[in-house]
A = this chain, B = another copy of it.
């Protein structure tokens, strides 16, 4: 029943982009080395380095976002350090305490509705620590975690990232960027941060596969090579070293061939933009201004009921008795037909 509605719930509801499935099938009867020491992984790594315009990085493949966050943060932090995050950061809200389970406190900072941190907030947090006469009794910030795009689809500007990088350098903090949906950022009309920028302005980041067309997989890019052994040797004991590592390599090789990764995300971004524009034209208010594939619209109960008969959106939060925020999400598998239908119905259910 649910599946008969038109699906805009999330970007991880279909198996994988067909090119990737095809590549997996074609590669099937080669006997490859295990644990990522295969040729596909090596080719994918080379393609990623090339796309980054920076050969001086280390690249590893992991299986999912939480696993990646957990392995990276629990490996690069010293045992007494915590990680600074927006209070809306994925590690602070929806990873069931993965960072704490690994022994580290998430030091949350109140971010605005876009979910972005700024350099000033980070510096204040460090000052609070440094100026506390009881600093031995409080958790030392050791790393900054940001998401690009953020959990609500917002984008950092390059200037903002430069400022964050500078304060991190100054305060001795590592900078880690969660790129679960990085493709949608790279493809966005408003984005001015390139993969190359990320290799210079962060210590580690990852290029999300799972939510950008892959069956599973995230490509971790380590720019600060001092961190490589900490992460590399932690993959196996944290359950992150896949026996058939090749399946990640095959997928990322395909995603980074002929610009597929950005192309499929661009299509999704464009569709999301058309949806957002239509909502606004029809009198709805967007909760945040997003230029990526997630759109957050404020909707009254009556309208919601109408949409709910035809569409699957993700309920984000209730605002008051009369209004909610829903997330409308596109992906590589959203079709033109689905979009047309939704746009027509937004117009049909217009507010004014």
Contacts and interface: CB of A to CB of B under 8 A. Distances in A.
Interface residues of A, number: 80
Contacts of A71: 239
A35 to B, nearest CB: 7
A29 B106 CA distance: 38
A78 to B, nearest CB: 6
Contacts of A33: 13
28 contacts: A3-B31, A7-B31, A15-B24, A15-B25, A15-B246, A15-B247, A18-B28, A25-B25, A29-B333, A66-B241, A67-B239, A79-B230, A80-B233, A80-B237, A82-B97, A95-B137, A95-B236, A95-B237, A96-B138, A96-B237, A97-B104, A100-B105, A101-B103, A101-B238, A103-B103, A136-B232, A136-B236, A137-B236
Nearest to A230: B78
A98 B240 CA distance: 11
Interface string A192-220: 00000000000000000011000110000
Contact of A28 (B21, B35, B63): B21
A244 interface: yes
Nearest to A68: B239
B237 A97 contact: yes
B18 A21 contact: no
Contacts of A100: 82, 100, 103-105, 139
B96 A233 contact: yes
Contacts of A136: 35, 96, 232-233, 235-236, 241
B97 A105 contact: yes
B239 A238 contact: yes
What 6 pairs across the A-B complex have the smallest Cβ distances? A67-B239, A80-B233, A7-B31, A13-B31, A98-B237, A96-B236
A211 B236 CA distance: 17
A350 to B, nearest CB: 26
Given A230-B79, A247-B216, A32 B13 contact: yes
A211 B94 contact: no
A84 interface: no
A75 interface: yes
A247 B63 contact: no
B3 A30 contact: yes
A3 to B, nearest CB: 6
A153 B64 CA distance: 32
Interface string A10-51: 101111101001001101111111110000000000000000
